[in-house]
Every structure is written in structure tokens, then in C-alpha cells.
Structure 1
Amino acid sequence: MGTLGLEAGDVKRTLGRMAHEVLENNKGPDNLVVVGVLNSGFPVAKRLAFVMTQIEGTTIPCGSLDIRSFRDDRADGDEAQDQSEIPFAVTGKRVILVDEVLQTGRTVRAAMDALMRHGRPERIQLAVLIDRGGRELPIEANYVGRKLEVADDEYVQVLLGVEDEVRVTKGEAGCSS
């Protein structure tokens, strides 16, 4: 089943710390929006926006970003319909771009390209729950929940739901990028 990287209490405390860091570094919630990368980053983004909303007492807008058409590993002619749901303007906003795991940096590169299609943010800041290392592109997160030492043949799985947890398993159950 894999090694437990973080359990429910750890995830809650980590997201709480990240929320406080984002709010402190941005001097509060004004002009701040959260956008999560579909599919795995969006649940983390929703949770982060919710925690910031609880802290500040004002709603932090949250949307989802479909990056499939911007990935550098998609097949030629593999054009997917944009499934992004961003119910607010990003132009002039401070966007907190959220993904669950940062590894190569390729997902984040695609996400920034996709986000620019929706407008021109004042600033983009990256928040990730897990940084597992292994960068192929010069991309670093502004906000990191936890850094995990993970072997190349291991996969990091973030599960947010009734029981929040982060698991590290052997093999390619998916792609942490």
C-alpha cells in the first residue's frame, strides 16, 4: 500500500501554515485568487482557499485550470476541449497557482502557459503540497507544504477527502511532475 508521507493532522496543519504564509506575503486577501491545476491540484487549491477564507473572514475566489493542451508530452493532434473553470478575471490579480506535487516542473510550465490564456495576472505564485525534487526545468515553488525524499521509482499520491493523507508507493501509478 505504500509508506505514509503525511497523515490527516499533518495535512491540515501544513495547509494552515501555507495559508498563513500566502496571506502574510501578500499582505492579506485583497486582489488574491487561487487557481488549482486539474485534476490533482484542484482539491488542494479548494482546501487552501477555504482555509484562507476562514482566517480572513472574506471569500478567496478559487478556480480550476485545464493544462492538457499545453503539456509538452501530449500527442500531436491531441487537442482537448478546455475544461478550466475560472469564474473570475485573472488580469491584474495575484494568482496562487496550486498543484499537489512538484517534481520536474513541466506541469507548472504548462499551467503558466494555460493561465496566460485567461488573462495577464499581476503576479503568479506557486504553491505545492509536496516538493519531491527531480527538477528538469528551473521552476521553484513560493510555498511548499513538505519536501519529501522520494526515489525515482516511487510515486507520491495525495488523497484529500474524509481521511487526508499523502502516500509514497513504488512504481508508476501516475506521474508526479
Structure 2
Amino acid sequence: MSDVGVLHPVRIRVAQVLALGPRTGTQLRQALPDVPYSSLYRHLRWLLDAGVIRVAGERKVRGAVEHTYELDEHAVQGAVPDPSALSPDDHERAVTAFVTGLMAQAHAYLEGAEDPVTEGLTYLSAHLWVDDDELALLRRRLRELIDPLAHAVPGPGRRQITLGVVAIPQPGDRS
């Protein structure tokens, strides 16, 4: 796959449109009229190969097959069954899918947000110095906080949020 991991503006825009719901290629062309036809389909192919989007349906239109595309929720959620089996390129595609999906969800939310802070919009990046034991403890505590809520069901007073957490080791001293 060429162009691995690059958050290309057209790909981000396609993901933003698909965050609003599934769209056919024709609907994507209408939503992105400034993007040339061949360029759009090249970026759709990249997003499909990277696992950011998937084909949600197909139908025959005048002898051709029209695809309906949607964000791949598993990729957007970072649901990788066995991360240890991934190559560095696979990890880059997975992170790209995850980040692109978060950006698309944020865009879809902000399109209609009245008061993002009061409604709960939060984003944070923190640079931490940790050893292996502290990192393992951080992962465990995040799981302890997130797992019970991940299995909660809709109900009065409850609303769904997307929580994205990424821990990226920084290049340099790995002693």
C-alpha cells in the first residue's frame, strides 16, 4: 500500500462525510464536488485497503455495480484482535484508521453542537515519563475504568460518548 498512514485531506473529508452515515460513490462525489472523480476513487481504495471504511452494500445501476461505503466501526474503535501479530505498516494503518475515525466523529458532532464544552467535549494530550511497570499499571487502570462503562446500556440520563486513548512511545532513549 502506498502512502501508508498519511492523513490526506481528501481522505479526512471522505471520512467526515461517512461519519454522517453511509453514502454511495455518487453521493460522495456530490458531497465533494471539488475532488476529481479519479482522485476520489483512488482515496476510497486507500481507505478500503487501510480498513478505515468498508463496503456496506452493492446494487446494480445501468449494468455497473454501485457501492455504498461506511466507516468501519471496528477500525475506528481501534479493535485489533491481536496487535502483537501486526507489522509496523499494519500498526500504522490501524492508527490511521483510528485517528481518522475520531476526526470524522468529532466533525460530525461539531456540525450540530450548541455548547461543546458543556456537552462534554474533552481532548487532552499528555507527555508522560514511565517505566514498563508504570505503563502496565496505566493500561490496567484504564481498562478497569473503561470496561464496566463499555458494557453499559442506553437508559434515562445516559448518553453515548466516544473516548479515544492512544499511548505512543516516543523515539529516543529506550533503556
TM-score (structure 2 length as normaliser): 0.26
Between Structure 1 and Structure 2, the one with more strand by share is 1
Larger radius of gyration: 2
